[in-house]
Amino acid sequence: MCLIVFAWKLLPDCPLLLAANRDEFFARPAEAAQWWQDQPHIYAGRDLQGGGTWLGMDKQGRFAALTNIRNGADKRPNAPSRGALVANYLRGQQDALTYLKQLAENADQFQGFNLIVGDAEQLFCFSNADDGGIQQLAPGIYGLSNGALNTPWPKVVRAKAQFASLLCQSAPDEAYFDMLSDTSPASDCRLPKTGVSLEWERLLSSIFIESADYGTRVSTLLRINANNSAQLVERMIR
């Protein structure tokens, strides 16, 4: 998952509205979002290589979402799959804060990640790539890509602005998916420097990524309602 924008506690009947794109190599096998046969209370896509997921929810309205930290110098070949961080939260019954406190004790074994977990009442963000610790999020609009929360990369700034506009218009679902399909690249002068080549920085700068072997594979719209029900709508691209 490489881009997430969301509104927290701004809509009276919908504490969380979230739109996201998952970017990955096309050769990495994955399943579309569905109720998992081995964990029937979990609704999520599934990474068939690592066994975890990038975003999902359960029948109680708990949810979690993950982005990787982009750092060309961070190489841990034997690190466990980060998709387990989402799946393990959804498998259990712990509240979000308890789960994150336990995760923080051994989070350094994973390659860099951002993890958002919560429900209709509380929402938290945790990263193992900085000293920010566990953040409980206040009401607002947030953007997360492959840096820290609200890092002003061009794609994050662009997506947050479009998302806020759609929110004010009470836009239909289709408008959010149109936003997620925006292929406009950033100019070179605005590109971040994350340890990858200039060509990759250019490729990764758009909301929706297109290339021969890597790009946006799934777009998702998630709602968590005030009554703890949830809806997840997914569009698989590849």
Greater confidence, 218 or 237? 218
Please tell me the distance from the alpha carbon of residue 137 to that of residue 121, in angstroms, as a whole number.
Answer: 11
Average pLDDT, integer, range 65-74: 83
Average pLDDT, integer, range 86-114: 95
**H or E element: which one contains 45?**
strand 42-47
Residues 70 and 113 sit within 8 Å (Cβ to Cβ): no
Is a pLDDT exceeding 90 seen at residue 129? no
How high is the pLDDT of residue 206?
98
Could you tell me which CATH number the domain at 3-149+212-236 has? 3.60.60.10
Residues 205 and 193 sit within 8 Å (Cβ to Cβ): no
Listed residue (230, 170, 169, 180) closest to 209, CA to CA: 180
Please tell me the distance from the alpha carbon of residue 157 to that of residue 57, in angstroms, as a whole number.
Answer: 26
Domain boundaries, the chain: 3-149+212-236
Average pLDDT, integer, range 216-227: 96
Q: Given pLDDT bands bounded at 50, 70 and 90, which one contains residue 73?
A: low
Residues 238 and 134 sit within 8 Å (Cβ to Cβ): no
Q: Given pLDDT bands bounded at 50, 70 and 90, which one contains residue 133?
A: confident
Q: Given pLDDT bands bounded at 50, 70 and 90, which one contains residue 203?
A: very high
Is a pLDDT exceeding 70 seen at residue 72? no
Is a pLDDT exceeding 80 seen at residue 213? yes
How high is the pLDDT of residue 234?
97
